[in-house]
Amino acid sequence: MRVRFKMDGGLVYIPERSEPVTLDTDDLPEEEAEELERLIEAAGFFGLPETSPPPRGAADGFRYTISVTSSGRSHTVHLADPIEDTNIQALVEYLEAKAR
């Protein structure tokens, strides 16, 4: 499974913060690979709508683009702060920590 994670937006624009990060479960330690796969699964990732826009009037929030390729299928999702679903929150927090 390959996961590409890119952040955008935020109160201040910092170029390196916008650089995408790619994780490949083949390259991760087994525990981490399982954790990532579990998070993707729990978030119902492949069933998520492609775009979830931020609420009306929102500003300075982060936007997240997550692309996952796994077992021949591929899906990209665009999310924005504040994320409401706790499972998606967990996935984003995990990926954001990796990107730091």
Nearest approach in angstroms of CB 71 to another protein is 29
Nearest approach in angstroms of CB 30 to another protein is 24
CA separation for the pair 41, 89 (Å, rounded): 13
Tokens of 74: 């591929």
The long-range contacts involving 58-61, CB below 8 angstroms and separated by at least 24 positions, are: 60/9, 60/10, 60/11, 61/9, 61/10
Q: Could you tell me how many residues of this chain bind another protein (CB under 8 A)?
A: 27
Could you tell me which stretch among 3-11, 28-36, 39-47, 67-75 binds another protein (CB under 8 A)? 3-11
Q: Which positions lie near another protein, rule CB under 8 A?
A: 8-16, 18, 54-62, 81-83, 86, 89, 93, 97, 100
